[in-house]
Amino acid sequence: MKREAFERRFPKVERRMDGMERMVSADTMIMPSLMEEPDMGLAPGGRMQQEIYEDTFDFEDWDRRTSSRCFVHLANSLMWREITGEAPPTVPPTANQYTSAGLPWYDYYDADAGALEGSEILDDLRSVIQMGYEKGEFPLPENESTRPKRVIRYRKGLARNQVREGTF
């Protein structure tokens, strides 16, 4: 995105951090240098829903002459310790533990947006559970399905500083 378009659409806001006032924008982030370690991966599956929508920005907002790449590195607990020098975060809660703790699940809703068609290639991917069952294994036994008790639904179309009606 062109700088002027980004600054027009996402103006800097004043935030207090560690007792200091500082102007920050949505593009402020810290990215550590990571070592390559090919012993982790991602697999499809689960009940997470994903929809990809058409770009809502103006075509002229984009700088089509410039390109860049972003490298994302996944780190297991051993690599986390190597990278940060600190103990890794604890084991994430299971879906049941998360729900039992009363934590909210989130859903995004935009009735006017139509999701783009998915890829036929991705349709053929199998989840870890499916691959395990095919091998006669039962992977991820701690990852049982749950029925969320609290779902917070986000929706498009709120005006700046508008608060949704609801119970808080």
Which pLDDT band, with edges at 50, 70 and 90, does 5 fall under?
very high
Cα–Cα distance measured from residue 97 to residue 38, given in angstroms and rounded to the nearest whole number:
30
Which pLDDT band, with edges at 50, 70 and 90, does 116 fall under?
confident
Identity of the amino acid at 166: G
Could you tell me the residue ranges of all domains in the chain? Answer: 31-155
23 vs 151 pLDDT, higher one: 151
162 vs 138 pLDDT, higher one: 138
pLDDT at 145 over 80: no
Query: 75-84 — which CB contacts under 8 Å span 24+ positions?
Result: 75/34, 75/37, 75/40, 76/37, 76/39, 76/40, 79/34, 79/35, 79/37, 82/35, 83/32, 83/34, 83/35, 84/32
pLDDT at 126 over 60: yes
Distances (CA, A) of 94 to 88, 89, 145: 17, 15, 9
Beta-strand runs (E) in the chain = 13-17, 20-24, 105-109, 151-155
pLDDT at 8 over 70: yes
Q: What is the tens place of the pLDDT at every residue in 88-106?
A: 888 778 888 888 898 888 8
Using alpha carbons, select from 98, 16, 34, 40 the residue that is nearest to residue 71.
34
